[in-house]
């Protein structure tokens, strides 16, 4: 039946072995060209037995116009397009004129063929194999680069996939924002991204898992972050060297840098972390050691209802968030100060937990003390993953 069907098609359409074999791509093993050559050979044996002329492979295919013969030159174009780019894995995609795709589908419909594959799929595969042989690179479902080829014009578009790096940062000084702001020379993001951009020769995008205020330090085990490097020309980078450059700033320190997938990067940024804080609380009316201890005792295990703080109302949706204080410990400092160590759910605003934010946070340290309290200094001690 295959030979009979092939004979019907070839009586009407002049097809090369690639295009003939592709009609039966889902049958048997081997390349479509090998399949087409075998089908044509058997068909012509039968035609010879019947005294008919053989149907030879045409000088020019009526469907693909011998596009597969262009593969060697396209491989060279791909090599030129990727000069100076470090990569180990790749994928090939192609853009075929719609009239060829339509003609191919029309042939399938006319002869009731349901064992075929599209021309672009075979072309991508064969071009990929040829490029791999020529360069030693390998194809991958998550490639470093993607070549988009226009087979007839010879245009090759190179898409360089981004690199994702996970790390944790410590902000060792006050007075620098996490991301660039007017009137600030530096930020955590700019210090980190300068080193990454230089190392990978690409555009760096910094994404922190949460943020701290300009006047708050981030200490301890550091805040998780992701760096996305877009269109990197280099991929074989020693992350320890990148860390050394960042850490030399004296302002920001990075830990545990490692390459991750896009999926892992997303998980890091969407995970909600508990946080450990150390706040220096100011009570102008005065505070005793006993009062400080009592506040910590009352805070432990307490559920806090916090309306979006007044200071961030323009940047955050105005709603009430419910967060929990898991641990609280107090250390009296002097007649007006005590330190408060807190472990809380992520997303609880600590400054407002202390001040009450004019009643927007309930209960607050101000409520529990019965005296106005303010956060004079705040550090994030740890981001707790578990």
Q: Closest by alpha carbon to 295, among 371, 350, 361?
A: 371
The pLDDT score that the predictor gives to residue 312 is 86
Of the listed ranges 147-151, 172-176, 309-313, the one predicted with least confidence:
309-313
Instruction: List the chain domain ranges.
Output: 1-160, 163-270, 274-384
Pick the CATH number of 274-384 from 3.40.50.300, 3.30.70.3190, 1.20.140.90, 3.40.80.10: 3.30.70.3190
Known catalytic residue at 213: yes
Burial (0-12, 13-18, 19+ Cβ within 10 Å), 353: buried
The pLDDT score that the predictor gives to residue 271 is 87
Q: Which residues pair with 304 in a beta bridge?
A: 323
How do beta strands 320-334 and 374-384 pair? unpaired
The pLDDT score that the predictor gives to residue 371 is 97
Tens-place pLDDT, residues 235-259: 999 999 999 999 999 999 999 999 9
Same-fold call for 163-270 versus 274-384? yes
Determine the distance from the C-alpha atom of residue 198 to the mean position of all C-alpha atoms in its chain, rounded to a whole number. 20
The pLDDT score that the predictor gives to residue 298 is 98
- The pLDDT confidence band at residue 386, using thresholds 50, 70 and 90, is low
Does 321 score more than 90 pLDDT?
yes
CA atoms within 13 A on the CB side of 40: 24
Residues 6+ apart with CB under 8 A from 233: 84, 85, 86, 160, 200, 201, 202
Determine the distance from the C-alpha atom of residue 369 to the mean position of all C-alpha atoms in its chain, rounded to a whole number. 47
Tens-place pLDDT, residues 6-39: 999 999 999 999 999 999 999 999 999 999 999 9
Tens-place pLDDT, residues 71-123: 999 999 999 999 999 999 999 999 999 999 999 999 999 999 999 999 999 99
3-state SS, residue 102: helix
- Element of type H or E holding 3: helix 2-12
- The percent of residues above 70 in pLDDT, for the chain, comes to 100
Tens-place pLDDT, residues 342-358: 999 999 999 999 999 99
Please check whether residue 333 is in contact with residue 339, taking contact to mean a CB–CB distance below 8 angstroms: yes
Does 295 score more than 70 pLDDT?
yes
- The pLDDT confidence band at residue 124, using thresholds 50, 70 and 90, is very high
Residues 6+ apart with CB under 8 A from 367: 356
**Residue range 153-159: mean pLDDT, rounded:** 97
Name the binding residues: 277, 349
Rounded-to-integer distance, Cα 363 and Cα 31, Å: 72
Does 385 score more than 80 pLDDT?
no
The pLDDT score that the predictor gives to residue 273 is 87
Please check whether residue 95 is in contact with residue 110, taking contact to mean a CB–CB distance below 8 angstroms: no
**Residue range 329-353: mean pLDDT, rounded:** 97
**Residue range 125-153: mean pLDDT, rounded:** 97
The pLDDT score that the predictor gives to residue 272 is 84
Residues 6+ apart with CB under 8 A from 244: none
Cα-Cα-Cα-Cα dihedral sign, residues 93, 97, 100, 101: positive
Name the binding residues for substrate: 277, 349
Query: Rounded to 5, what percent of the chain is helix, strand, coil?
Result: 35, 25, 35
**Which CATH code fits 163-270?**
3.30.70.2510
69, 114, 186, 213: the catalytic one is: 213
Does 300 score more than 90 pLDDT?
yes
The pLDDT score that the predictor gives to residue 378 is 98
Tens-place pLDDT, residues 77-87: 999 999 999 99
Rounded-to-integer distance, Cα 90 and Cα 12, Å: 38
**Residue range 212-233: mean pLDDT, rounded:** 97
- Element of type H or E holding 292: helix 289-299
Rounded-to-integer distance, Cα 154 and Cα 152, Å: 5
**Residue range 130-134: mean pLDDT, rounded:** 98
Q: Is the pTM of this model over 0.85?
A: yes
Rounded-to-integer distance, Cα 107 and Cα 105, Å: 5
List Cα–Cα distances, 349 to 145, 216, 377, in angstroms: 42, 12, 14
Does 128 score more than 70 pLDDT?
yes
Q: 59: which 2 tokens?
A: 């000088």
Mean per-residue pLDDT of the chain? 96
Helices 32-49/2-12 angle, 10° precision = 90
Please check whether residue 36 is in contact with residue 16, taking contact to mean a CB–CB distance below 8 angstroms: yes
- The pLDDT confidence band at residue 204, using thresholds 50, 70 and 90, is very high
């Amino acid at each position: 039946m295959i030979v009979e069907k092939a004979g019907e098609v070839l009586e009407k359409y002049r097809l090369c072995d690639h295009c003939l074999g592709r009609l039966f791509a889902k049958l048997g093993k081997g390349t479509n060209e090998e399949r087409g050559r075998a089908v044509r050979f058997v068909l012509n044996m039968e035609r010879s037995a019947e005294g008919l002329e053989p149907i030879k492979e045409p000088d020019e295919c009526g469907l693909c116009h011998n596009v597969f013969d262009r593969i060697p030159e396209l491989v060279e174009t791909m090599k030129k397009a990727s000069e100076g780019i470090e990569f180990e894995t790749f994928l090939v995609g192609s853009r075929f004129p719609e009239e060829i795709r339509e003609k191919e589908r029309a042939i399938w419909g006319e002869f009731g063929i349901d064992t075929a594959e599209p021309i672009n799929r075979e072309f991508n595969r064969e071009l990929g194999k040829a490029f791999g042989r020529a360069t030693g690179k390998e194809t991958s479902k998550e490639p470093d680069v993607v070549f988009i080829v226009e087979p007839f014009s010879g245009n090759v578009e190179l898409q360089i996939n981004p690199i994702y790096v996970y790390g944790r940062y410590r902000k060792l000084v006050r007075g620098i924002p996490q991301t660039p702001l007017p009137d600030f020379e530096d930020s955590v993001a700019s210090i980190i991204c300068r080193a990454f951009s230089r190392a990978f020769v690409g555009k760096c995008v910094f994404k922190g898992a949460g943020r701290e205020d300009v006047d708050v330090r981030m200490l301890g085990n550091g805040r998780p972050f992701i760096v996305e490097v877009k269109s990197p020309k280099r991929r074989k980078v020693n992350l320890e060297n990148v860390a050394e450059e960042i850490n030399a700033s004296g302002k920001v320190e990075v830990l545990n840098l490692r390459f991750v997938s896009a999926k892992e990067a997303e998980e890091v940024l969407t995970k909600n972390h508990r946080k450990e804080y150390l706040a220096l609380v100011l009570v102008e009316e005065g505070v005793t050691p006993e009062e400080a201890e009592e506040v910590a005792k009352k805070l432990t295990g307490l559920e806090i209802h916090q309306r979006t703080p007044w200071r961030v109302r323009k940047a955050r949706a105005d709603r009430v968030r419910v967060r929990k204080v898991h641990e609280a410990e107090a250390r009296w400092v002097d007649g007006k100060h005590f330190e408060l160590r807190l472990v809380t759910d992520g997303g609880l605003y600590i400054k407002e937990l202390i001040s009450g934010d004019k009643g927007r946070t309930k209960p607050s340290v101000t409520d529990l003390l019965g005296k106005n309290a303010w956060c004079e200094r705040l550090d994030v001690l740890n981001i707790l993953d578990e």
